[in-house]
Amino acid sequence: MSKQYWWKDRAWRIVQTNLREIDMADMNAEQYVRELQEFNANTVIINTGGIAASYESNIPFHTRNRHLTGDSLKTVINACKEAGIRVISRVDFSKVRAPLYEQHPEWAYVSPKGEIIDYHGLIHMCFNSDYQQKIALDIIREIIRDINPDGLFLNMGGYSVALDYTKGYQGICQCENCRKRFHDLFGLELPKEDDPNDPIYQKYKEFQNITVNEYHKNIKELIAEENPELLFFPIDMLRGEVGTFFDGADENNYMYKGSELLKLEKYSSPEKVASVTSVDFIDMWYRHAAVSPNEQELRLAQMLSNGGFADFYQVGRLDNHRDKSGYAPLKKMFRYHLEHEDDYHANFSTADIALICPRETYWSKGEIGFPAEYYGWYHLLTQQHYIFDCIKMNAVENISLEKYKTIILPDVQNMSDSGVAMLDAFAEAGGTVIATGETSMWDEHRKRRQDIGLRCLGVKKTGYVGRDYISAYFEIGESKKQFPRFADTDWIYLHDVYCYAEYQPGVKESMRFIPPHRHSPPEDAYPTNITGYPAFTMNEFGKGRGVYVPWKPGADHYHFGFPHMGNFMADLLDNVLGIERVTGNLPEMVEVEHTVRRDNSVDYVHLINYTGYSLKSYFRPLPIRDLVVELPWKKASPRTVYSMTGEKPVRFEYCKGVLRLFIDELNLFEAIKLS
């Protein structure tokens, strides 16, 4: 039986204070702890070493903070522990001060242009340099021995050193350390461009994974020698950041972000503790200007509703922060979590639907650009009140798919042979696989397959992939009965991509493709050709089925939100495939999450109200009254149904596999306990 460490099955309330150097000049340990207690925090993340040592380090290459005149870091940590607050030391070895670089220029990251990154006197350190591979481990050992934290948080680890704060990604490091290590592993020269079609670049991606995993393993082994009770991010715990950005705002600042990131972390690595943190500032460029208090509160509602924790991150100390506008709602949510902490740990979703994300990491947009198809399906599933999990494609092969009945692959282009085989086996055993766009047309190394990889889809031969299509449609025709949302509509528009294919005998093809035609002038705006190519197909495969949508309705649903796309996806799931969802009279602006305690003893239903979101701004949501939630329920009727937010019983009815909950009023969120 594996050891039960302190961080497992724990109700976390985390505050992360990324201290500036000057914050140590007048640091007052008692006040620091008092501020944390006002948040009811039981964990704090505090920067300790790397770029600047926040303590009296004796490592020669560890630059000390120049402002260590207030209470010492050790005094602060001891005060936190005495108050029952766990302390996680944050370290960042991605940069050093210029004088240290001048002693060892061979440690620096070197761009394909032959340039280092010098960010106002901070020089980026190559991940494969002796500084990161050896000296960093010496610093970690010193921190464990001298500072004695409860955990270690590794920030900006791996190959993120190529990211300039202002100029963005600068390319593959070309320093001698990287050249040698890559050649030693593969006998090849480093690629100079991030070209997914270059097989050597694909080897470089493999090189990144190998070296990062080895680095984490080395740190974990060091920790095991020094203090096995020390938590290590990211091996023992994963933690994403829910923040906003000026660059790529339309892609990155979406309202479901807290829920989506937590689902990705939690269900891609179910063996690890997972959290996401609400980032205080509006962007890295503006560390001292906070996002809307309403957005902060919404993010924490998302975290708690999805089996996460109360988690908040800012720059600077709590007492001297320049924008405390979010503190009141944050403290309210932290206090709620404290009052109900026994109900907010070891909770997992009841979902039998998995939405697969093609993006490998939060920072990576992958090989296919921004995965709008994935985000469109995410929005649709949430708006239509499906209970679902999110899983990264590169994690699928490492987890069990046993709990799922349906897996959705939204334009997941890159899939390994083993991943393809696993999903075919899932369908053959009785599952439903829904794939859209160019799913499985490439392997994990971006090598183009001759045809679609997934056999369960029933594709005999892949044809031409049409791109940038406009003025194209599908004729609904005989499918009208299965698509009641199109009662007054005969055609569904198609925009951008269509994948022509020939299908195996027995595959059912539905609707007919109307290829692009003239759209102007009005006198000529009509098609002259309706083809036999389908809008979707269904293939019986073993005990299950494969459904193929050879275009990308999710992308347009995300970018534009026109009703054709959402209605097509909703009718496909609801009326063609008969996939269960939560029903009742819930508007689309309400998110529903259904989780259960690990031991299956208690269920929780959370509702989140998004009526406060308008034109990228967050306001106080409008109350929604007299809601009826009809929940698929395969257990005996619960004995008690109780509102944890309203502290009162909830009226309910149970009949023939449906549990009906009656909610008098929904404000920001509702949390219902069923036992």
At residue 634, the pLDDT reads 93
pLDDT level of residue 4 (50, 70, 90 thresholds): confident
The DSSP bridge pattern shows strands 459-475 and 231-233 to be: unpaired
**DSSP conformation class of 523:** G
Confidence of residue 67 (pLDDT cuts 50, 70, 90): very high
Task: Decide if pLDDT at 457 tops 60.
Answer: yes
| pLDDT of 48 strictly over 50 | yes
Q: Specify the fold of 585-674.
A: Immunoglobulin-like (2.60.40)
Q: How confident is the model at residue 336 (pLDDT cuts 50, 70, 90)?
A: very high
Residue 115 has pLDDT above 80, yes or no: yes
Average pLDDT over residues 228-254: 91
Domain boundary assignment for the chain: 13-91+236-345, 353-576, 585-674
Question: How large is the average pLDDT for residues 520-544?
Answer: 96
Strand partners, 666: 624
Contacts for 255 with CB less than 8 Å, ≥ 6 apart: 298, 610, 613
Q: CB under 8 Å to 38, separation ≥6 — which residues?
A: 318, 331
Predicted local distance difference test score (pLDDT) of residue 367? 47
Residue with tokens 């026994």: 342
Contact 650, 641 (CB under 8 A): yes
Residue 512 has pLDDT above 90, yes or no: yes
Sign of CA dihedral 633, 635, 638, 641: negative
**Upper half-sphere CA count for residue 308 (Cβ side, 13 Å):** 36
Mean pLDDT of the chain: 96
Distance between CA 618 and CA 393 in Å, rounded?
Answer: 32
Beta strands 603-609 and 590-597, pairing class: antiparallel
Strands 86-92 and 43-50: parallel
Q: Looking at residue 203, what is its pLDDT? A: 95
| 3-class DSSP assignment, residue 314 | strand
Share of the chain above pLDDT 90, in %: 94
Q: Is pLDDT above 80 for 323?
A: yes
State how far the Cα of 674 lies from the Cα of 643, in Å rounded to an integer. 9
Q: Tell me the C-alpha to C-alpha distance, in Å, between residue 366 and each of 30, 211, 371, 428, 472.
A: 46, 19, 8, 29, 28
Closest residue by Cα to residue 595 from 296, 308, 392: 308
Q: Please, how many CA atoms are within 13 Å of residue 297, restricted to the half-sphere of its CB?
A: 25
Selected from 3.40.50.300, 3.20.20.80, 3.40.50.720, 3.20.20.70, the CATH number assigned to the domain covering 13-91+236-345 reads: 3.20.20.80
Please check whether residue 241 is in contact with residue 303, taking contact to mean a CB–CB distance below 8 angstroms: no
Instruction: Select from 430, 397, 428, 429 the least CA-distant residue to 412.
Output: 397
CB 544 within 8 A of CB 535: no
pLDDT reported for residue 617: 95
Question: What is the bridge-based pairing of β-strands 651-655 and 658-666?
Answer: antiparallel
Residue with tokens 């001292």: 288
Q: Which helix (H) or strand (E) holds 268?
A: helix 257-268
Q: What is the pLDDT of residue 366?
A: 41
Residue 363: which pLDDT band, with cuts at 50, 70 and 90?
very low
The pLDDT tens digits of the residues spanning 618-637 come to 999 999 999 999 999 999 99
Q: What is the mean pLDDT of residues 380-393?
A: 97
Q: Give residue 360's pLDDT.
A: 65
Is the confidence at residue 55, as pLDDT, over 80?
yes
Kindly give the residue spans of alpha helices, DSSP state H, lying in 190-256. 199-226, 249-252
Tens of pLDDT, residues 397-455: 999 999 999 999 999 999 999 999 999 999 999 999 999 999 999 999 999 999 999 99
Q: Which helix (H) or strand (E) holds 33?
A: helix 29-38
Name the pLDDT band for 361 (thresholds 50, 70, 90). low
Tokens 């031409």 sit at which residue?
A: 464
pLDDT at 2: 59
Residues 533-562, mean pLDDT to the nearest whole number: 98
CATH of 353-576, one of 3.40.50.880, 1.20.1250.20, 3.40.720.10, 3.30.390.50: 3.40.50.880
pLDDT surpasses 60 at 240: yes
**Full-model pTM:** 0.96
Q: What is the mean pLDDT of residues 455-479?
A: 97
The length of the chain in residues reads 675
DSSP 285-311: TEEEEE--HHHHHHHHHHHHHTT--EE
For residue 24, pLDDT over 70 is answered with yes
pLDDT at 251: 80
pLDDT of residue 485: 98
Judging by beta carbons within 10 Å of its beta carbon (0-12, 13-18, 19+), is residue 189 exposed, middle or buried?
exposed
Q: How far apart are CA 468 and CA 51, in angstroms?
A: 47
